[in-house]
Amino acid sequence: MKNHAFELAKKEYERWGIDVENVLGKLQSIPISIHCWQGDDISGFEVNKSELSGGIEVTGNYPGKARTPEELRADLEKALSLIPGKHRINLHAIYAETDGDAVDRDKLEPKHFQKWVDWAKQHRVGLDFNPTLFSHEKSADGLTLSHPNREIRQFWIDHCKACRKIGEYFGKELGTPCLTNVWIPDGYKDIPSDRLTPRKRLKEALDDIFSVEIGGKYNLDSVESKLFGIGSEAFVVGSHEFYLQYAQANNKICLLDTGHYHPTEMVSNKISALALFNEKLALHVSRPVRWDSDHVVTFDDELKEIALEIVRNDALDNVLIGLDFFDASINRVAAWTIGTRNMIKALLYALLMPHQQLKEWQEKGDYTKRLAIMEEFKTYPFGAIWDYYCEQMGVPVKENWLTAVEEYEKKILLKRDATFVKV
């Protein structure tokens, strides 16, 4: 039985010609690719682990970090049970399961991810994938695909080739194409004397990686840029301009990470520009605080604007939405839940806007009505629609999900660290 608050809110939106039931059906069909690495602070399960590198930092020591693949999958299951809709899980290559054997990254095979595939089938989720070009002895100097040493460069080329085959395997097994995304940390701490040569090597390496054609039915290739990182403050080889041109010239997907740009540069502003010239584009939604800090996604103005740009431009089928944040200072299951629910909230917020009317006012030059209605809609009863959606999807309404996380922490997570005493 529909609750009273929902019925009242529904009528408010219907006055503007917004079909709320249709909106909720559309929202249910939008998958978010949830990153597995929030659950273990990007540690992975390699036999010979290296310290986290590549300009990536995870801060905090909250108890309950997943230590095994089984623990990580259990934590993901708990988070998925609190998030409305059917979604995807995004893996890095370091989450391979090799049964105790030391398998280097250039030798990874689909069999090393069989348990992930079996789990994904059981829970009816798709899988996405990323080569891991950091936290390895061959990336210790901050260079991988652009490395001047041919042997090191070839190692990473072979790793990326292996990952594309794994992505293709995911797509075949799960019946939904895997997005295999290439990001590298390559760059220099101080001002380079030659920017062109490293970029030539990166281009040649990418050409080699993509030389084997894998159809889009099973695998989609994307490339991801970055502005700077710790240890690459002065120069990054794979800049936005480089990958934008490479993706356009080679029919690859350009992936925009919301933390990989200048603090005043908005990814939301880029979506319509790329959508005009690309069949698909991909997002890693994060929250930068002063730099690429990968804070948990909040329901802030930029998140709402990203969702608005996707929805108002009819790009829901063309934009692949993934998340990328990691915070070890709070409960990791809660972090997944907060961030993913906020991404879905933003999409719902965007779907409940009278876009056609707003566009018409803009075209007519009636900026007064455009601004007035956009502002008024900020306080429309969106929350009642969201609560009803969560109820219909069988997940906790409002903050009630937090009780389930606290119980899970007490029964499961705290037992992973018996020395922790909660204050």
Phi, psi for 113 (deg, rounded to 5): -125, 20
121 in active site: no
The catalytically annotated residue of 324, 345, 361, 386 is 324
The catalytically annotated residue of 186, 224, 302, 409 is 224
The catalytically annotated residue of 75, 128, 186, 292 is 292
The catalytically annotated residue of 65, 136, 284, 295 is 284
The catalytically annotated residue of 138, 240, 260, 280 is 260
Q: Please, where are the H alpha helices in 29-68?
A: none
The catalytically annotated residue of 159, 226, 240, 252 is 226
The catalytically annotated residue of 75, 173, 257, 302 is 257
The Cα–Cα gap between 389 and 341 comes to 11
The Cα–Cα gap between 107 and 47 comes to 14
The two beta strands, 178-182 and 187-188, are unpaired
CA distances from 404 to 64, 337, 412 (A): 15, 11, 12
| Residues 6+ positions from 247 with CB-CB distance below 8 Å | 222, 223, 253, 254, 278
| Residues 6+ positions from 131 with CB-CB distance below 8 Å | 92, 93, 105, 156, 159, 160, 163, 180, 182
Asked if residue 42 lies in contact with residue 92, where contact means CB atoms within 8 angstroms, the answer is yes
The sign of the dihedral angle between the CA atoms of 114, 417, 332, 327 is: negative
118 in active site: no
Phi, psi for 295 (deg, rounded to 5): -70, 160
| DSSP-derived secondary structure letter, 39 | T
CA distances from 212 to 134, 264, 313 (A): 24, 39, 33
257 in active site: yes
226 in active site: yes
260 in active site: yes
Structure-token pair, residue 372:
């007035």
190 in active site: no
Asked if residue 303 lies in contact with residue 297, where contact means CB atoms within 8 angstroms, the answer is yes
294 in active site: yes
The catalytically annotated residue of 183, 336, 361, 401 is 183
398 in active site: no
The catalytically annotated residue of 294, 302, 309, 409 is 294
The Cα–Cα gap between 42 and 417 comes to 18
224 in active site: yes
Residues that are catalytic: 183, 224, 226, 257, 260, 284, 292, 294, 324
